[in-house]
């Protein structure tokens, strides 16, 4: 996942873009960039790796030299961005939140037309540069962005900064959010609304799927109407989103409270306490605890002052060390007790298995795991989530192979909560993770907790449902 923030103001916007972009650091990515435009300095850009440091530290020196009333910033999965390009439409900067599944085909298209590429990402062509080229080979920005929607297989939301304005476009099926905010003398555009309050912006407008707007310091103008069909990623509310954020005007943490409450209503286990797996499991645990009237406790804490998040180091051995060292168990809470633990999901289950082992080492009597979404059975095709070299890395697929003895299995029955196959898969995952009991959220309950009709939500990773 990636996240972006842009601002255009009647005065300097440098600090708003700096802090607004920083508020997307929780999205768990490796690179970040800022780009600004001023009449005196033109386009200015800086890009840094975040694998050995934090956003604010990396850009603290850069912002001292930046100037401008228009700027964009992005926290990115892999690629260096924003891109600044020269075209027949003039110079522009572009930042994307995207997953381009047909990047090789698009690269070939441009190579066949004797184009060159200036940047690579992880040994491949930079996806944001592909988007910039798709835009620039058209007559104007609207037709260029429409070309992106037409040719990209996967998803793509984007910001284009021309110097005079910021053009914002939401993915054609709205899988990722784009929201406009305003304050006196300035407008902003963001992925996460949690970037707005401390910068004094008020949420003004949620872009619809495929919608394009042009933003100036005076306001915004619609350049393309939204599409009728939407499939926004359900996992935004379950895991990705920061608690104060809202998508489609639905708050993240309120949704997590409802998820936890739904799990509690469907549960008959008694325990001494309820706990959330930090950080995204905490809201779910609050909802469960309030519904079940079982005390909410903290059996272990994250030590964040010096230990980074575990996804950041590239080396797996280092990742494992960070994951272990940052979580400090509280034996006084867990020794001899029965606990119900809430987490957003189980992908591979590696870290969860280690967490459970530490709980047993601390003397816990029973570990009842409750997961806020259904089992992740199908790899995500539309966002950079559940990235694995093999689908067998997923806890569900590993369990299914253990049951069936082969990878060639019809997964439909394993996605049916009422089937014997589903029950066997869940029990095998429970056994693999050394849990006392394990339950996943029912898809209907998750949809109800979010509050949108199912046809407006992407639930592919849980039920394999096809998309428009």
238, part of any domain: no
| Most confident residue range from 306-315, 385-394, 449-458 | 449-458
Same domain, 125 and 207: yes
What CATH number does the domain containing 441 carry? Answer: 3.40.50.2020
For residue 312, give Cα distances in angstroms to 16, 80, 395.
Answer: 25, 16, 21
225, part of any domain: yes
In contact, 449 and 442? CB cutoff 8 Å: no
248, part of any domain: no
Same domain, 219 and 298: no
Closest CA to 256 of 236, 231, 230: 236
Looking at residue 310, its pLDDT comes to 46
What residues contact residue 135 under an 8 Å CB cut-off, 6+ apart?
Answer: 87, 92, 94, 141, 144, 145, 147, 148, 160
Same domain, 211 and 133: yes
For 157: left if phi > 0, alpha if psi spans -120 to 50, otherwise beta; the answer is beta
DSSP state of 119: -
242, part of any domain: no
Same domain, 219 and 310: no
What are the pLDDT digits (tens) for 424-447?
999 999 999 999 999 999 999 999
User: What does the buried/exposed string (b/e) look like for 5-39 if buried means 16 or more CB atoms within 10 Å of the residue's CB?
Assistant: bbbbbeebbbebbbbbbbbbbbbbbbbbbbbbbbe
Same domain, 221 and 283: no
Looking at residue 423, its pLDDT comes to 97
Same domain, 137 and 278: no
Same domain, 53 and 189: yes
Q: What is the DSSP string of 203-252?
A: EEEEPPTT-EEEEETTEEEEEEPPPS---EETHIIIIIS-TT-EETTEEH
Same domain, 156 and 267: no
Closest CA to 64 of 4, 10, 20, 12: 12
What CATH number does the domain containing 20 carry? Answer: 3.60.20.10
Q: Which domain holds residue 23?
A: 3-230
457, part of any domain: no
Looking at residue 382, its pLDDT comes to 87
241, part of any domain: no
Range in 160-164, 211-215, 311-315, 318-322 with the lowest mean pLDDT: 311-315
Same domain, 222 and 259: no
Upstream peptide bond of 82 is cis (omega within 30 degrees of 0): yes
Instruction: Give the count of domains, the chain.
Output: 2
What tokens were used for 238?
A: 């379950």
DSSP state of 369: E
In contact, 208 and 169? CB cutoff 8 Å: no
Predicted TM-score (pTM) of the model is 0.93
Between the CA atoms of 194, 312, 356 and 432, what dihedral angle is there, to the nearest 10 degrees? 110
244, part of any domain: no
Q: How far apart are CA 67 and CA 171, in angstroms?
A: 30
Is a pLDDT exceeding 80 seen at residue 465? yes
Closest CA to 69 of 227, 188, 171, 170: 188
Q: Helix or strand or coil: residue 278?
A: coil
What are the pLDDT digits (tens) for 143-189?
999 999 999 999 999 999 998 999 999 999 999 999 999 999 999 99
What are the pLDDT digits (tens) for 41-67?
999 999 999 888 889 999 999 999 999
Closest CA to 424 of 448, 392, 396: 396
Helix pair angle (103-112, 127-136), 10° resolution:
50
Same domain, 190 and 258: no
Same domain, 211 and 305: no
Same domain, 330 and 400: yes
Is a pLDDT exceeding 80 seen at residue 137? yes
% residues pLDDT > 90 (the chain): 78
Sign of CA dihedral 342, 343, 348, 353: negative
Sign of CA dihedral 188, 191, 195, 197: positive
What are the pLDDT digits (tens) for 389-422?
567 789 999 999 999 999 889 999 999 999 999 9
Is a pLDDT exceeding 70 seen at residue 223? yes
């Amino acid at each position: 996942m990636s996240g972006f923030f842009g601002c255009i103001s009647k005065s300097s916007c440098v600090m708003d873009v700096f802090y607004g972009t920083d508020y997307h650091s929780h999205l768990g990515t490796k690179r970040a960039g800022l780009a600004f435009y001023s009449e005196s300095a033109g386009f200015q850009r800086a890009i840094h790796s975040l694998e050995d440091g934090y956003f604010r530290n990396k850009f603290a020196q850069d912002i001292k030299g930046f100037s401008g009333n228009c700027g964009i910033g992005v926290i990115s999965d892999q690629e260096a961005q924003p891109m600044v390009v020269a075209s027949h439409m003039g110079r522009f900067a572009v930042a994307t939140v995207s997953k381009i599944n047909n990047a090789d085909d698009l690269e070939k298209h441009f190579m066949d037309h004797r184009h060159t590429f200036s940047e690579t990402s992880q040994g491949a062509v930079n996806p944001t540069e592909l988007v910039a080229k798709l835009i620039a080979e058209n007559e104007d920005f609207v037709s260029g962005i429409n070309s992106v929607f037409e040719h990209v297989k996967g998803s793509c939301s984007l910001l284009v900064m021309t110097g005079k304005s910021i053009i914002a476009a939401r993915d054609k099926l709205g899988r990722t959010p784009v929201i406009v905010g305003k304050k006196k003398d300035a407008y902003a555009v963001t992925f996460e609304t949690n970037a707005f309050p401390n910068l004094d912006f008020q949420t003004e407008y949620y872009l619809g799927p495929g919608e394009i707007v042009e933003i100036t310091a005076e306001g915004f103008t619609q350049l393309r109407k939204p599409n009728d069909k939407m499939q926004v990623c359900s996992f935004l509310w379950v895991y990705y989103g920061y608690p104060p954020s809202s998508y489609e005007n639905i708050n993240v943490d309120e949704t997590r409270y409802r998820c936890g409450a739904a799990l509690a209503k469907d549960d008959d286990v008694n325990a001494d306490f309820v706990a959330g797996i930090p950080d995204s499991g905490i809201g779910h645990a609050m909802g469960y605890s309030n519904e079940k009237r079982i005390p909410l406790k903290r059996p272990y804490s994250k030590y964040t002052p010096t230990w980074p998040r575990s996804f950041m180091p590239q080396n797996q051995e280092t990742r494992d060390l960070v994951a272990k060292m940052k979580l400090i168990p509280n034996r006084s809470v867990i020794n001899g007790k029965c606990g119900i633990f809430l987490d957003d999901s189980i992908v591979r289950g590696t870290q969860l298995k280690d967490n459970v082992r530490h709980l047993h080492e601390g003397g816990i009597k029973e570990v009842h795991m409750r997961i806020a979404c259904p089992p992740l059975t199908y790899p995500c095709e539309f966002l950079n989530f559940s990235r694995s070299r093999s689908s067998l890395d997923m806890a569900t697929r590993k369990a299914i192979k253990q049951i069936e003895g082969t990878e060639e299995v019809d997964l439909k029955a394993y996605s049916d909560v009422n089937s014997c196959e589903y029950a066997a898969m869940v029990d095998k995952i429970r056994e693999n993770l050394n849990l006392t009991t394990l339950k996943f959220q029912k898809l209907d309950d998750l949809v109800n907790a979010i509050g949108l009709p199912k046809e407006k939500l992407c639930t592919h990773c849980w039920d394999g449902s096809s998309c428009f």
